[in-house]
Structure 1
Amino acid sequence: MRKPAGGARLSFIRPLEPFQVETPPISGDWLHEIKYDGYRTQIILDWAGARAFSRNGHDWSKRYWPIVAAAEKLPAKAFILDGEMIAPEPDGRPNFHRMHSRMVWNAEQLAFVAFDILHLDGQDLRSLPLIERKAKLWTLIEPADGIIQYSDHIEGNGAEFFAAVERMGLEGMVSKRRESPYRSGKVDAWVKTKCWDVGDFELLGIRREPGKPAAAIMARGGRYAGTAFISLPSGLRERLWKRVKEARASKPAQRVPSAFADDVEWVKPGITGRVKFLRGEHTLRHATLQDFEEGSRNRS
């Protein structure tokens, strides 16, 4: 592409960030999409070629070189696409745990799922309604060969869509007002609803801080997994305190972040906790300890 006289390159735009909600909106003026488990990415094409940026504006074009090359073949001279870089399995589901190895060794096995378009051939599209932006995005993405994909949506029926997402074992969904413009930063015109999982974790210790709920420090598969607030009935809670006192240890059984200091009561291996947590997170988030027992139990 020939450089226009005095032309500046298109600049990274700070992404729109959805609010997290407990249940999806149900009115008909919302679009609903799958929430993809990967890295938020912005693809920019201008007179000097295509580039790929992380959610914080870092240039990751070399890591995503096959997607950058594919973007330069799309039928436009300039655009800014918002989307998610994923490591898809054969059935199309994203596998976050494969992201790093593919970025390093097999970048051609990554895919970019585009869900919005902010600029197209000299026109800033951010003030247009979302439904109009997505129509333009589809026209641009349709010829792509699969390494760049379009994020499909449904209109309305948010509760039914969320139920389907849960059944499929996906991370969650994102709902967007169909008439909303694109605005950088936290905007309530987009909301995300995440699914929950329940699983078994090894208890490493208990952290008690004044004015805060007690937290269980958990491990899984021999690695630190995060913390879970303790939400147990009083009788079960007292039994846990008694067991922790009996199994007290001088140091954690697994390596943990250095932020944990003297305010943690470490315990010897042997206590398993049943934890409810948000699906798709890479350490425990919004997690609660719901039950515990000594020894291992069958994993759910």
Structure 2
Amino acid sequence: MPKRSPQNTQRSRKKPLATFEVRLVGPNVLPEEIPLHVVSDALSAVQDIASGRDPVEEQHVSPEKAINLLDVCRGSATYRCVARMPQEAVTNLTRFGSVLSSLDDSPEAGDTLVTALGPIEKLSTVARLVGCQVQVAITGQHRTPVFSVREDDYQRVSDRLFVTGETTIVGTVQRAGGATEMKCLLRVPGRRRLLYCGVNSQQLVRRLGQHLYEEIAAMGTAKWIHRTWRIHAFTINDFTQPRLGSVPEAIQELRSAGLSAWDEVGDPEKYIRELR
């Protein structure tokens, strides 16, 4: 029996069906005129939504949930994609579309939007750069998209989710500077990842650079996600270095504040029960 050559085997493989398609819909939008990095941003954002990736918990989409580009078509610019876990991808995309269109106040809806903040920001930027809407449609469900993202959608969602105010954050300076944008990286206790901070002046960046790997108390403007009170963005306006005293000094200060009076109580537990 003759063996199939690798070339013949390749030809005999059927082209898989697309799971969904990403469309950049707008006047005079052609795929060959869109910069590759813009297409990459759009497709990676949709992949994050389809995979359900939480950017805080997972740095990358796991290989088994990856999305592959299958085809590129005209008709604005249409990118047909195939998911390795198609049912999960369709479920995640559909749920996201429902939440984005309604913006209801349920905890589940809030969690979905918080997870997808990064992708929404990317897709809104793509929509602004290309002058289009970014639509995602499931294969076989007519031509109706499960969601559309316009250039102002990130602002609309962030206005709903974010709370802004002044606060102080204690952390260790890991890096300070930036060629195009003034930034500082802080390692904050209780936070898994470094906090990327904006810095409001070049002079302040230079001061921060003199305290690398030292603990500071940074005062500035924070943007919190109000459902979780997780800091989404922080801009440093000033900082100090916290003065840390010794443990014996702290104990002595507590005693001076009145705690030494307990030394005169024979049975503190009994005394507290009587007070109750």
TM-score by length of 2: 0.35
Going by fraction, where is strand more abundant, 1 or 2? 1
Which of structures 1 and 2 has the bigger CA Rg?
Answer: 2
Going by fraction, where is helix more abundant, 1 or 2? 2
